[in-house]
Chains A and B, each alone.
Chain A
């Protein structure tokens, strides 16, 4: 399979991220630490066939977030996330 055909999006990471966050991560506007693009996490690219899940910027493909589960632990690497804007209300 090509890299492109393995690509999912932030919706696919939503369940895993709900283990960690008390808010719905797919609607949180996420600023890429690489290029500064801001978009809902649901619009970002996700690759789920690595040992963990890798969220990449939809514009520059820089790693924005990685989440890995090991027995008894969840590892979250957000070094590529410059900011998260979490809406209070119900988005539309």
Chain B
């Protein structure tokens, strides 16, 4: 079943927006209902296509932020200044609207719950979206695999899935949030950018042989990946998803 989810020829299809909810200051969670959805694996994404009345099309990829067992397929969309697609998705789209998409896509940036290795997640900004799916799936499957999340965000208002991450922390997931620009008074998490020292202190050490997923803006993920390799992690244990 998991295999068929990634080995099927893809077609564009219509999803119906079940709900649009605020996920952070400039991010919205789009909860979608999709007839005949075959299920997905945590880490997979969909391509969303918008078509203007004159036929002009724009296409973007968004990670699926909900676990495979969720009743809706959720995307978390961060509004980007001048972003022609993200502005529409975060400001114009309403419950009941339809959205054209294809997916689920990709079997490489996927966490399989039967993998024994400790799980290390490193996110920059909205790169945390696929990890929300992985963490929910980790909880839903009752996985005993130890998990750590290191999440870099600009400010507390930019943190996606904050309540849910607190719940995961409460069940034993190591959640470390680094706020790079502003920290609220009494902030107990990290401040400033993720450095090689941050990686050393908050990532499973190389001898624990973790499976590492890194997702975020290109410059962030490449700096993190370089730091992890310099710290002794095998490049093949690190899976990267850049979103430019």
Residues of A within 8 A of B (CB): 4-12, 14-15, 18-19, 22-24, 26-27, 40-43, 48, 89-92
Q: Which of B1-27 contact A (CB under 8 A)?
A: 2-3, 6-7, 9-10
A18 touches B244 (CB 8 A): no
7 smallest beta-carbon distances between A and B, as pairs: A42-B108, A26-B108, A15-B47, A92-B112, A90-B3, A18-B10, A14-B106
Does B115 sit within 8 A of A, measured CB to CB?
yes
Q: Which of chain A's residues have a CB closer than 8 A to the CB of B114?
A: 92
Interface window among B31-39, B156-164, B167-175, B234-242: B234-242
Q: Which of chain A's residues have a CB closer than 8 A to the CB of B6?
A: 24, 27, 90
Given A15-B45, A18-B10, A41-B108, output 7 extra A-B contacts at Cβ < 8 Å.
A5-B219, A8-B218, A15-B10, A15-B46, A18-B9, A18-B105, A90-B3
Assuming A4-B219, A27-B6, is B109 touching A12 (CB within 8 A)? Answer: no
B244 touches A24 (CB 8 A): no
Assuming A18-B9, A18-B102, A92-B114, is B219 touching A11 (CB within 8 A)? Answer: no
Bound: A14/B10 CA distance, A: 10
A26 touches B107 (CB 8 A): yes
Report which of B10, B112, B218 forms a contact with A5, defined as CB distance below 8 A.
Answer: B218
Bound: A8/B215 CA distance, A: 11
A12 touches B108 (CB 8 A): no
Bound: A85/B107 CA distance, A: 14
Q: Which of chain B's residues have a CB closer than 8 A to the CB of A12?
A: 61, 242-243
Residues of B within 8 A of A (CB): 2-3, 6-7, 9-10, 45-47, 61, 102-103, 105-109, 112, 114-115, 218-219, 222, 239-244
Bound: A10/B239 CA distance, A: 11
Assuming A24-B6, A26-B109, is B240 touching A9 (CB within 8 A)? Answer: yes
Report which of B2, B9, B103, B109 forms a contact with A11, defined as CB distance below 8 A.
Answer: B109
B103 touches A15 (CB 8 A): yes
Bound: A5/B109 CA distance, A: 20
Interface centre among B2, B102, B240 (most CB of A within 10 A): B240
B3 touches A89 (CB 8 A): yes
Bound: A92/B41 CA distance, A: 11
B108 touches A27 (CB 8 A): yes
Bound: A48/B218 CA distance, A: 13
30 chain-A/chain-B pairs, Cβ below 8 angstroms: A4-B219, A4-B222, A5-B218, A7-B244, A10-B108, A11-B241, A12-B242, A14-B45, A14-B106, A14-B108, A15-B10, A15-B61, A15-B105, A18-B105, A19-B10, A22-B7, A24-B6, A24-B106, A24-B107, A26-B108, A26-B109, A27-B108, A42-B108, A43-B239, A48-B244, A89-B3, A90-B112, A91-B107, A92-B112, A92-B115
